[in-house]
Amino acid sequence: IIPKLEAFIDRHGAIRILEVIERFDGFDPSTILDGMKFDLKHLSDVTHAAVVSDIPWVSFMTSAFATVMPLTMRVFTMDQMDAARSWIEAPD
């Protein structure tokens, strides 16, 4: 997905992201490394991120991460999907 995001950023500029995490079955360390490289490279290209999940630690980690990132982040539960979409689409 990272190459598609980078191509979109190249064509359109800054983006807003809505990420839905329904379940977590573990991760591949290379995936985390790729994500971190993307984050560092595109620090100013992502202006808003809405994370939607019912997984408690995902909400906690996202909230903690938001305090050190130069973007606006909000966490929503799965039953707040419509609110997350409205928030990510709303003008500043």
CA distances from residue 69 to 48, 66, 72, 86 in whole angstroms, order as listed: 10, 5, 8, 22
pLDDT given at position 50: 94
Higher-scoring residue by pLDDT: 9, 69: 9
Q: Which contacts of 8-11 are long-range, i.e. CB under 8 A and separated by 24 or more positions?
A: 9/42, 9/45
Tell me: pLDDT of 49 over 80: yes
Average of per-residue pLDDT across 7-33: 84
In the chain, where the domains are located: 2-89
Average of per-residue pLDDT across 1-23: 90
Task: Summarize pLDDT for 70-89 with one digit per residue, the tens.
Answer: 889 999 999 999 999 999 99
pLDDT given at position 29: 66
pLDDT given at position 32: 66
